[in-house]
Chains A and B, each alone.
Chain A
């Protein structure tokens, strides 16, 4: 792919972005993390802010505090850790289903960038007989158009919960 977003129609941009998110969700659900990392840009910043119960929406995540704030090295280290088979929070690994919807696609301020918002319901079943947890999250992503396809280089994943009701974020949002 060599086109920049300025050369693409809104429909084409939407198709690219939705296809990216759907394929990413499938790779994560199938725990194909090495392939997932190929969709991640070297300059990625992946963050999950801490959210509080506040009257003003803008103040809920404004404190600059994070549950996760990873660059590519830290993100890749999480993948490597999961692969050891001794990252006990994910042994046995959770069975997950990510439903991605409410997708909003906009042209980014740079010619090779697409801004994408999505809402995700991440269903996660851990252990043997436990009922699954649902992790609800709204993501603001920025995708870069490169010669080897779209790459995720910014993800701001805001949980719908102030108190997290799954015992850890051992799964990617």
Chain B
């Protein structure tokens, strides 16, 4: 297993040079292949992207009750996503503050206390330190609950029930950070006041490919479908996959957040507006929750596939679930979870509108699972075509030769008539969305946001909440924050 190390100062020069070369290459619509399998780039991605930005954790419906928790990852760390005893959703580091032992060892469950198996330090489900064995003899008095609580993500926010966390305070509020992509989220997930719910626990499998290849693919690659997935036409399952890219459109919401849209009613048959939802579901939809442009969009070319930077993707497409049945749409959410250079875990969940009949949810689950996930007749082939890219990224020959990948499809530019936010492109061809994804990558790889030391964060929270803590704490401000807390504690005592 890969062992994460922060880049050293020497590494920083190398990383900066690579990032510069990526940006210069993008200006020529090219992309250096080495970023897909490189120890130092991977370490920098963990440090500069995954612990410094909003990342997707899960959905509220996975932890409906107080005390419910599921295990997730941020960067290479396993973290606990928990609804605490007051109902607040927390993201907690899984390591005991006493010696660092992992405290939670199940993938899901319900608990009011997490107890370390090493010496027995115990934590409330909001992360606060709760106690330790032989407290009087070993410590004399109780430790400060916040100072010695579990590290917790300073920012946790939700959007239509989807939970995101940031380990840096130096991020704008979630809605602001997602920007115009929120408008697309509304069109996809806000068709009913009860929203969507998860249909089961996530499926997880290891793929020997870089996380960016999955994210890039879902950001805007409809071009691959006709080749990668053509077996699903040749075997008679879904006709016409070789022509899908022609009926695909692009939505660029900025910051590397983008969606592909499909004119499904043209691809399959006229009734297949609204992703092809059958009457039993669409009759439940509350269309007045959307604006006119959103309504027109989901009627005729709904967002079917998309990526929210860095590693969250979405997929809703109609697919048959049984012989001689019409295709029905399923909704799949996935995370391209980096675990090592050139290796990721693929996490996939299936969702459906809560208001849909249970019978429909069961059918949609089958449809989604047959196409996507480890056994999926589409996904299987995606994962292996991406494996080759990770090999190229490690190739001495490719690196010495300065091999750069081709992003030079003909571009026709955005539609000037588009009334919605962001930009709309009639044609998905052009690889412009993939370029935007890598432009955001360049921007984040250049950033040097901080993750604050544990004691400072705890002190900040004790002094009045994470929001008040400075965003670029230097050692001096850190020491000042601790001193202030100590003073306050002294005053209280």
Contacts and interface: CB of A to CB of B under 8 A. Distances in A.
Given A54-B107, A54-B108, A87 B206 contact: no
B351 to A, nearest CB: 13
Contacts, number: 114
Interface string B358-371: 00000000100110
Nearest to A70: B370
Nearest to B362: A64
A88 B381 contact: yes
Contact of A165 (B206, B236, B370, B385): B206
A162 B205 CA distance: 8
Interface stretch (B12-20, B186-194, B225-233, B326-334): B225-233
Contacts of B322: 71, 73-74
Interface string A79-111: 011011011111000000000000000000000
Interface in B233-268: 234-237
Given A48-B375, A73-B322, A74-B370, A84 B235 contact: yes
B333 to A, nearest CB: 14
A50 B236 CA distance: 28
Nearest to B324: A73
A90 B380 CA distance: 9
Interface string B197-230: 0011111111110000000000000000000101
B383 A81 contact: no
Given A54-B108, A69-B369, A73-B323, A89 B374 contact: no
B203 A65 contact: yes
Contact of A169 (B108, B230, B374): B374
Nearest to A54: B106
B180 interface: no
A65 B105 CA distance: 21
Contacts of B235: 77, 80-81, 83-84
A168 interface: yes
Contact of A88 (B108, B203, B205, B228): B228
B374 A64 contact: no
A69 to B, nearest CB: 6
Interface of A is mostly: loop
B109 interface: yes
A168 B205 contact: yes
A90 B377 CA distance: 11
Interface in A110-166: 127, 162-166
A90 to B, nearest CB: 8
B380 A87 contact: yes
B177 interface: no
B338 interface: no
A34 to B, nearest CB: 14
A67 interface: yes
Contact of A67 (B208, B374, B387): B374
B369 A66 contact: yes
A151 to B, nearest CB: 19
B164 to A, nearest CB: 23
A86 B237 contact: no
11 contacts: A50-B202, A52-B106, A52-B201, A73-B322, A81-B232, A127-B387, A162-B107, A163-B206, A164-B374, A168-B376, A168-B383
Given A48-B375, A50-B200, A81-B231, 11 more contacts: A52-B108, A69-B366, A69-B369, A74-B322, A80-B235, A81-B237, A86-B234, A88-B381, A89-B383, A127-B387, A167-B380
Q: Which 10 A-B pairs have the closest CB atoms?
A: A65-B200, A89-B380, A164-B205, A168-B380, A73-B323, A68-B375, A52-B107, A169-B375, A84-B234, A80-B235
Interface of A: 48, 50, 52-55, 63-71, 73-74, 77-78, 80-81, 83-84, 86-90, 127, 162-170
